Amino acid sequence: MPEVVGDLRKMRSELSEPVNYVLPVGDQLVDMNALIGREISFQFTGDIHCVSCGRKTGKSFNQGHCFPCFRSLASCDSCIIKPEQCHHAEGTCREPAWAEDNCMQPHVVYLANSSGLKVGITRQSQIPTRWIDQGAVQAIPLFQVSQRYYSGLLEDGLKQYLNDKTDWRRMLKSQPEQVDMVSERERVLALANGLVSGIRSRFGDEAVSALLPEPVVLNYPVTTYPDKVKAHNFDKTAEVSGVLQGIKGQYLILNSGVLNIRKFGGYRVRVQY
């Protein structure tokens, strides 16, 4: 039985029919689509290495960081979750140079259908990866903005009309009902008129522009969805095994439960398949 040992990283994905996944384990890449229908086991060795600095840590913070990195890195700051509270805009950013490369870049505000219709934001360069990571089955862009802060203002304003969270358990149980994404985009664009005008009056007309591409449909390599979602946790059970029945978002769907790969970034594991 093949075996690889190394630190986990989030799965790499490619938009294809269906979505294609590979799992980085140390310096090895495992073709996960090829393992659908096969037995696979993960054995956590007890070691965790920070996904940023590589130091050994007894506890993981924010999907694989040691505590010092969690406290110091801009990528772990609260404004990543709440970009409308951008610290760069306030002059209090932890790492202004990092923000220039990551936050002060074009972002897209979009609609996605994952566990239902939601609004979200991502760097333009992260499309369609962000949609795949959320397990969206449909997605359509709404706006392009010149920096993350403006996308956060739009998303925050649209929360009064739309959900901004994915119910991961519902997402993993089945395919959501299909939505007319073009009609929904037209509805939301009309609702956002006041928000857009406000941002343009503050930051200039070039700060935000509407996008009108065709919607994207995403299909995942899943043969069986679970009736009840049980999440595996390496912090409680060091060994996880089962038949791989599918992959959606950053989750492996096993007949014994689901495993969120991204949550356990930096965990050293022995993978047998």
pLDDT of 123: 97
H or E, element range at 172: helix 168-173
- Six-digit token string for 233: 């946790």
pLDDT band, residue 189 (cuts 50/70/90) = very high
Q: Do the Cβ atoms of 112 and 118 come closer than 8 Å?
A: yes
Task: Check residue 223 and report its DSSP letter.
Answer: S
Q: Do the Cβ atoms of 123 and 105 come closer than 8 Å?
A: yes
Average pLDDT for residues 131-138, to the nearest whole number?
98
**pLDDT at residue 242 greater than cutoff 90:** yes
pLDDT by residue (tens digit) across 153-180? 999 999 999 999 999 999 999 889 999 9
Nearest to 148 by CA among 194, 195, 100: 100
pLDDT by residue (tens digit) across 28-78? 999 999 999 999 999 999 999 999 999 999 999 999 999 999 999 999 999
pLDDT by residue (tens digit) across 90-132? 999 999 999 999 999 999 999 999 999 999 999 999 999 999 9
pLDDT of 267: 98
- Six-digit token string for 15: 């938009």
**pLDDT at residue 10 greater than cutoff 90:** yes
The answer, yes or no, to whether the previous bond of 18 is cis (omega within 30 of 0) is: yes
The answer, yes or no, to whether the previous bond of 128 is cis (omega within 30 of 0) is: yes
Can you count the helices (H) and strands (E) in the chain?
Answer: 8, 14
- Six-digit token string for 183: 């009609």
- Six-digit token string for 266: 């930096």
- Six-digit token string for 23: 């799992």
Q: Distance (Å, rounded) from C-alpha 237 to C-alpha 251?
A: 17
pLDDT of 116: 95
Q: What is the pTM of this model?
A: 0.95
pLDDT of 1: 83
Q: Distance (Å, rounded) from C-alpha 51 to C-alpha 69?
A: 9
pLDDT by residue (tens digit) across 208-240? 999 999 999 999 999 999 999 999 999 999 999
